[in-house]
Amino acid sequence: MAKYIWLPIHREGWPFIALFAIASFLLGLLWTPLGWLGLALTAWCIYFFRNPDRITPIRPGLVVSPADGVVCLVGHAVPPAELGMGSEPRMRVSVFMSVFDVHVNRIPIDGRVTKIAYKPGKFLNASLDKASEDNERMAVRMQTAEGADVAFVQIAGLVARRIKCDLSESQDVRAGERFGLIRFGSRVDVYLPDGVEPMVACGQRCIAGETVLADTQSSEAARQGEIR
């Protein structure tokens, strides 16, 4: 049970946790109820920056979710222009992270990073379609061992004010590896190779590094889903 209770904390979280704890202590000196409120917020901050291990399926061709959250958009869209992937729409799967989800992001598929591009922008609700174009973002293009192009984009949200990406160009990566995070509440888009259909539906909950979004070796049609 210990591994479910004492989860690792991402190193980016410790300064915030310390700040919340100090503020809680000072508020408690002023008025005890404020101290308890601060303690609750400190607990939430610890919870937000949790960084659990994940079991990633390792068969070649599988595209796993880069984020915990809910699939909010599935459909064709043009990849960010700064990645140089052309103007033809590609199948895109968008995963929205609420402030209660794990925010550590993971690589969706084995391959090599070929381009990284940051673009400043707005902080609209990340669940909106136009957030892909208008919001601040960090876009990554990579090539799989089979030569297919895949892109994934970290998009800032309504309350998110920092995108962290630890990748560098020409870096070899594996599916499920941690590569960054976004504070606090956001979205990650995945642009699939041509002809690859998603294996998830809107409204489906994903687990980063575990949920399979697509299979580049499959000819299966796009999956549909319904609430039951």
Residues 182, 126: contact at Cβ < 8 Å?
no
Is 87 known to be catalytic?
no
Give the position of tokens 């499959």: 218
Q: CA–CA separation, 218 vs 120, rounded Å?
A: 36
DSSP state of 158: S
- Which residues touch 123 (CB under 8 Å, ≥6 apart)? 135, 136, 156, 157, 158, 159, 160, 161
- 136 CB burial (10 A radius; 0-12, 13-18, 19+): buried
H/E run at residue 206: strand 205-206
Residue 73 amino acid letter: L
CB burial of 70-95 (b: ≥16 within 10 Å; e: otherwise) equals: bbbbbeebebbeebebeeeebbbbbb
Q: CA–CA separation, 222 vs 154, rounded Å?
A: 24
Q: CA–CA separation, 185 vs 193, rounded Å?
A: 27
Q: Active-site residue among 127, 168, 186, 219?
A: 186
Q: Which residues are part of the catalytic machinery?
A: 186
